[in-house]
Structure 1
Amino acid sequence: MLVSLAMLLPLGVSVAGPVGTANAAFDPNFGYDFWVESDMGGIKSRIFRAADGNRNRVVYALDGMRARNDLNGWEIETNVARALTAANINVVMPVGGESSFYADWNAPSTWGPGDLGSSTGSSNGSSGLGSSDAAADVDGKANTYRWETFLTQQLPRALAEREGFRSTRNGVFGLSMGGSAALTLAAYYPRQFSFAGSYSGFLNNSAPGMREALRVAMVSAGGFNIDAMAPPWGPQWLRMDPFVFAPMLKANNTRLWIASGSGLPGPGDVSDALGVVQAVPLEALALANTRAFEVRMGTIGAGNAHYDYPATGVHNWKNWEDQVNRMIPDLSRNIG
């Protein structure tokens, strides 16, 4: 499987990024920009208000590995914001963070001359709030990624102060890269996040071959150096592995929604042969990771997760949107 992925990635496919495109959903009159200063500079999020006007029920929607600097993929490719707001849930969509895993990195992702395995440099500079160039300036190369700090300190504080949003018992969900990040945030910040969802997530990052698979993926998705994120197999790397920190999720009693497709294309999953070739192995790898996480949770007696494995489904937005729609009632019961 990893050999197949290594062959696919140079074609422009990311191990933790979306394949396939849903109908564009962006509506400038629906959500609004919310800029917050961070250790990385000015970061934009998109906010969508709950239909009933409440400020207590909040969910964060995390993007995949190929996150763009203009809009979050959930807004570009799906209509989940409308479904969530109709369920009286406020939606926060952070923008940017390509290949970041929404983590605090060790250093900017710069490469040593002729050495793709080195990482040098230090954080420098920031962009002003609201600057049109701000997202490009906080891409983890000019600055050191500090996404965990942003999502757990700077953003919730600004949302509380300026929007009146509750900063405890929030939800968080994500696809692929964002799925593993959602579980990481819930594990280490249980007061902030009482619910976490992972769709097609990579939840066993310390399995044999996974780090090198992710290394190739991150080079493909923006040219990022995984060694700048965390050294191999050290405490910082293990801290990011849901398989490793599963006991914390059990102890926190965090409500989890864990899902992955079967890797078999269903109706409308992909529109061409190349799409099948790309999306099937990616989802198969996510499925293997997700099943391993389920077994791990079972061995420690954790009963706080719902697992969802549709009979068909590959690595694309259609299936991730379907998961959100299925998840909404469970999310609604476990936040606020």
Structure 2
Amino acid sequence: MSLGLRRLAAATAGALTLALTVGSITPAYAQLDGIDTSSLGLEEVELIGSVAGSLPLGSALGSLGALGSSDFPLDGAGSLQELKEPPRPRQDTITESKFVGIDKTVGEYEYWLVTSAAMQREVIVEVVPSQVTDRGPAPVLYMLDGVDSPEGNSGYRHQVHIDEMMQNENVHIVAPTGAYSAYWADWNAEDPTLGYNKWETFLTEELPGIVESQLAERGTPTNGNNAVGGVSMGGQAAMHLAATHPELYQGVMSVSGYYSTMDELGYQSIRGAIEGRGGELENMWGPRGSDRWKDHDTISHVQGLENTAVYFSAGSPRVGQADIEEYGTDYLKMTLGLLLESGVRSGTEEFERVLDREGIKHLADYADTGFHNWHTFVPKIKPGWDYIKSALY
């Protein structure tokens, strides 16, 4: 190994260890920011991956309590990401959940404006009705977005191009939007930044009836079966919903989700997503360790998945060409993406062990390379659908 590579390895290990054990990202960024990433090749990036991937992520987070606090500080570069737009406000006049109209149409994508009585607000729902017309009624696949969940332009449109991916599949795609860092959950209290969130109620009690009646009215009926899927935050929520509402979903597909809210990594990742975007964590499920936190710890109550088609996937701590293209010279973001997917991989393997122990049939799909980004997510969506779809017809 050359002197330059040894220095790069040392900087990586030192910065990441400091970030994980002391908690603040600022010292780590100070070390990493001094590296000229513009000339990094595959060998150098693979070295970064091997060093970062070998760090005991779970152990480092678990040791934070020994420092006197289980919460590391979210200060410094990249720690606070402002919302691109505020959540839609509550309106006291909204007392009924209903279809209002089609806000706009973009190619195969329809943007339905609906109201939620539970949240007392309007919601934009991205819908791609089945493009297959000769196979009878179609099931509905609800797809939940990741942490930023932009309104009116989900990742399934601007990253996946799900209309093209699923054009030969007899399925209605429904992607609600605007659940900024909300984990698609019912929150205990309204948040000054992230709004009033009752997404689980909306998804399980309000939206299915709206979708079924509206599609039937237009002559493209559903067959009464549903599946739920998602990536990252959306994947975690999808698995929770499927396990909690087995009467509603016959299939679930989760890409790079994490299935524990009670272990250190699960808690800190949720906390980072909420507080890192200006929200107050206890507004979601109350104090850490409360019954509401336990209710969302899917790994501890997987029995609800027993009669469900279950697919989940994870990336890898090994870098791929797509990662290099994704991050370019942003060394810090690349490293954080690596660490996130390292945690996902570890949590996914543990989730698989629990399902095996409980005798619950599933498909766990592991990629050879790929950090926590859309380049890793997209290739796993169609295989997920291919695995669960037989349960929907």
Q: Give the TM-score category using the shorter length.
A: 0.7 to 0.9
Deviations 1:87-108 (A, max 9, x none): 1211001111011111111001
What's the secondary structure of 2:301's corresponding residue? helix
Question: Does residue 34 of structure 2 align to residue 34 of structure 1?
Answer: no
- 1:269 paired with 2:269, answer no
Is 2:336 the partner of 1:289? Answer: no
Name the structure 2 match of 1:100. Answer: 182
TM-score, normalised to structure 2, is 0.69
Q: Are 2:226 and 1:170 equivalent residues in the alignment?
A: yes
CA separation in 1, counterparts of 2:166 and 2:24?
36
Task: Show the counterpart of 1:307.
Answer: 364
Provide the C-alpha distance between the structure 2 equivalents of 1:84 and 1:318, rounded to a whole number of angstroms: 18
Residues 1:223 and 2:281 aligned together? no
Q: Which runs of 5+ in 2 are unaligned?
A: 1-15, 30-73, 82-104
Contact 1:177 1:201 survives alignment (8 Å)? yes
TM-score by length of 1: 0.80
Show CA shifts across 1:195-217 (max 9, x none): 11111101122113532342122
- How much identity, in percent, do the aligned residues show? 24
Q: Does 1:238 align with 2:316?
A: no
Taking structure 1 as reference, are residues 224 and 159 closer, same or farther at Cα in structure 2, changes over 3 Å only? same
Contact 1:198 1:258 (C-alpha < 8 Å) held by counterparts: yes
Match of 1:158 among 197, 210, 213: 210
Separation in 2, partners of 1:266, 1:178: 24
Report the structure number with the largest CA radius of gyration. Answer: 2
1:111-130 counterparts in 2 under 5 A? Answer: none
The answer to whether the 8 Å contact 2:80/2:278 transfers is: no
Tell me, what secondary structure is at the counterpart of 1:101? Answer: coil
The AA in structure 1 aligned to 2:312 is: I
Greater RCO (CA < 8 Å, at least 6 residues apart): 1
Kept in 2: contact 1:265–1:276 (CA 8 A): no
* C-alpha contact 1:180 1:241 (8 A) present in aligned 2: no
The 1:240/1:44 distance shift into structure 2, 3 A limit, reads: same
In structure 2, which of residues 336, 358, 363 is the aligned counterpart of residue 278 of structure 1?
A: 336
Secondary structure class of the residue paired with 2:363: strand
Q: How does 1:48-67 map to 2 (within 5 A)?
A: 48-53=128-133, 54-67=136-149
CA contact (8 A) 1:55 1:90 kept: no
C-alpha deviation, 1:278, in angstroms: 2.7
- Separation of aligned partners in 1, 2:158 and 2:264: 34
Does residue 330 of the first structure (1) align with residue 387 of the second (2)? yes
Structure in which a larger fraction of residues adopt helix:
2
* Distance of 1:287 and 1:29 partners within structure 2: 36
- Aligned-CA RMSD value: 2.3
Gapped runs of 5+ residues in structure 1? 16-26, 111-138
Q: Deviations over 1:57-104 (max 9, x none)?
A: 210111011111232122121222321232121100111101111111
CA distance in 2, matches of 1:154, 1:254: 22
Rounded Cα–Cα distance in structure 2 between residues aligned with 1:50 and 1:168: 14
Is this contact kept in 2: 1:14–1:66, CA < 8 A?
A: no
The one-letter amino acid paired with 1:37 is: T
CA drift of 1:14 comes to: 9.1
Deviation per residue, 1:18-38 (Å, 9 max, x gap): xxxxxxxxx812211112110
